[in-house]
A and B are shown apart, each in its own frame.
Chain A
Amino acid sequence: MRPAILLYIAVMALTTYLVRMIPFTVFRKKIKSRFAKSFFYYIPYAVLSAMTFPAIFYSTGSILSATVGVAVAMLLAFFHQSLIVVSVAASLAALFVSFL
């Protein structure tokens, strides 16, 4: 353990924690505005979508195997399979393609 590195890590952890903690703890109002309510309703889906695309196509190191994985995930998700089933199946599909 190097003290200097530990200091960096502590500052990093504290910043990350405060960014998470302050709004979550301080904010107590029930949001009234229709726009704000709609905005907060849509935000989780927007965040997930922005994180997934286009990154998912580069997640396996091969666009081909990733694309097959995406197709499998979409098909299973369309038929309401559970999170774990969808993610394991996509991973197995990508693995399978990598052997071809």
Chain B
Amino acid sequence: MAQKISPYRYREGLKDGLPIGLGYLSVSFGFGISAVGEGLRVLEALIISMTNLTSAGQLAGVTVIVAMGTLLEIVLTQFVINLRYSLMGITLTQRLDSRCNTKHRLFMSFGLTDEIFAVAASKPAPVGPSYFYGLMTLPYVGWAGGTLLGALAGSVLPDRFRLALGIMIYAMFIAIILPPMKRDKGVLGVVLLAAALSCCVAFLPFLKWISAGFAIILCAVIAAAVLALVCPIAEDDEEEEPS
């Protein structure tokens, strides 16, 4: 762990977290609506969002809770759907500065979501606790707030507006992956391959049994492994950012 101190402050994290927070607001709004629709109370839906902070896992969790499944079922679904966070966590440890001790990691890991991970891992320099906490703040507020609003207000917002909000979070992903695709053939390859695999899982009937959370990790691991073999990154120590 000889990474130098991160140049990014709390404020920069806050700024980078704003679009994630707005995106979460709309996604969790939908979660709030559906959780209450399935029979949970407003407060229960809110507590789920405040303690879990994960979209696919929460949706699956609500399904098991409402069906009064076993606790083992809850553990297994959450484990499989959220396994990708383990992978992301390991990836992110390679991009942390030296201030990220165990105490900080215990708190930081709570905010390890797909989007927060992607933004933090694609920063050119290593990230530290202050930046990461800044990055977590608005997504957390947006996720909890959106759930509460969705659970309370349900169908007050006209469908047209609610639906248009649904694309925000994905558009943000495009904004993250497209610029590096222009300058790095490996990134271009991995994005195209992962998208192709993901479409196969979604559309080919004999692959339909794969759950959404598991499909993401499966497609991503295959695509990244293939590109790591075919197109390994340049071998020099600190700088892994070919620019």
Contacts and interface: CB of A to CB of B under 8 A. Distances in A.
Interface of A: 1-2, 5-13, 15-17, 19-25, 27-28, 30-31, 34-56, 59-62, 65-66, 69-70, 72-74, 76-78, 80-92, 94-95, 98-99
25 contacts: A6-B44, A8-B61, A9-B48, A13-B48, A16-B52, A16-B78, A21-B109, A23-B86, A24-B90, A30-B94, A31-B94, A34-B233, A43-B91, A44-B91, A45-B180, A45-B194, A49-B173, A49-B194, A51-B114, A56-B174, A62-B163, A83-B16, A88-B22, A90-B174, A95-B160
Interface residues of B, number: 106
B77 to A, nearest CB: 9
Contacts of A82: 19, 175
B194 A91 contact: no
Among A61, A83, A89, find the residue whose CB has the most chain B CB atoms closer than 10 A: A83
6 A-B pairs with least C-beta separation: A24-B89, A90-B171, A38-B228, A86-B175, A13-B51, A95-B164
A9 B47 CA distance: 8
Given A19-B83, A50-B195, A50-B223, A45 B1 contact: no
Nearest to A95: B164
B136 to A, nearest CB: 12
- Per DSSP, are chain B's interface residues mostly helix, strand or loop, or mixed? helix
